Amino acid sequence: MSENLIWHHVTVTRQKRAAQNGHKSAVLWFTGLSGSGKSTIAHAVEEQLFHIGCHTVVLDGDNVRHGLCADLGFSVQNRSENIRRIGEATKLFVEAGLITLTAFISPFCADRDKVRELFVAGDYLEVYCRCTLDCCEQRDIKGFYQRARAGEIKEFTGISSPYEVPNDPELILDTDQLTVDECVQKVILLLRKQGVIPSD
Ligand code: ADP
């Protein structure tokens, strides 16, 4: 398919974008059970980054499942394809100079690792929102767990479909013990340590 394609030479490079933006680009890949806090933290981090003048984008279930991946369901194969497409879209955003925050359960290690492989070291930062199933179920902000327990939602991660814990994430956030603000500060610190945003 791709043998007759020729890449156009890029003149506005990532380096030039970073110099103009005053920060580098990378992806913060949030993973964890439904209700573990991925969206809440991703949006709160984005707000803080926006406040200090960074260029960002958040990709989460709502803006992707209704569009780019509207044709996909929740089988293992479809979940893999969902994450593959999000990975490729994320790569484009990172090339465009954005700090990209993704909030997807992304339950399978192999799928996350394939996304990691799309990036050079340091550009993919995996953030594991660690939270007990009990706590997520108690929160049940979307009512999904109750419906999954009742058998109304099939292949629901944590109930009837597995969640594979990350082996070596760049950051673990214990969202059942920390406040949202504490989690946000840890993510901002990670971005500083990695040199994505300048230190104070
Ligand atoms: P997910 O995107 O992982 O499905 P959400 O962000 O939609 O999860 O929901 C997480 C819920 O947990 C929110 O209601 C949020 O206010 C609450 N919460 C409590 N403590 C935290 C924390 N430390 N980090 C993130 N969310 C938290």
Cα 37 to averaged position of ligand 1 atoms, centre (Å)? 3
Tell me whether residue 4 is in a domain: no
Task: Give the pLDDT confidence score for residue 76 in this predicted structure.
Answer: 87
| Residue 2 clears pLDDT 90, i.e. is over it | no
Asked if residue 59 is part of any domain, the answer here is yes
Residue 51's pLDDT band (cuts 50, 70, 90): very high
Ligand 1: distance of its center to the CA of 45 in Å? 13
| Domain assignment of residue 7, yes or no | no
pTM over 0.85: yes
- Here the CATH number for the domain that contains residue 134 is 3.40.50.300
- Ligand 1 neighbour 103 (Cβ under 6 A): yes
Average pLDDT over residues 145-161: 95
| Whole-number Å distance between alpha carbons of 155 and 157 | 6
Active site residues: 106
Q: Is the pLDDT of residue 130 over 90?
A: yes
Q: What is the DSSP letter of 6?
A: -
Residue 188 placed within a domain: yes
Q: Does residue 154 belong to any structural domain of this protein?
A: yes
Surface-to-core class of residue 100, CB atoms within 10 Å of its CB (0-12 exposed, 13-18 middle, 19+ buried): buried
CA distance 58 to 99: 9
Q: Could you give the number of structural domains in the chain?
A: 1
In the reported structure, the alpha carbon of residue 36 is separated from the centroid of ligand 1 by a whole-number distance in angstroms of 5
* Residue 184 lies in domain: 14-193
Residue bearing the CA closest to ligand 1, atom 14: 141
Q: Does 78 have pLDDT greater than 90?
A: yes
Cβ of 44 below 6 Å from ligand 1: no
Residue 35 lies in a domain: yes
* Torsional class of 69: left (φ above 0), alpha (ψ -120 to 50), beta (otherwise): alpha
Q: Please indicate whether residue 40, judged by its CB atom, sits closer than 6 Å to ligand 1.
A: yes
Q: What is the pLDDT of residues 183-193, one digit of tens each?
A: 999 999 999 99
- Per-residue model confidence (pLDDT) at position 1: 63
List, for residues 84-102, the tens digit of each pLDDT value: 999 999 999 999 999 999 9
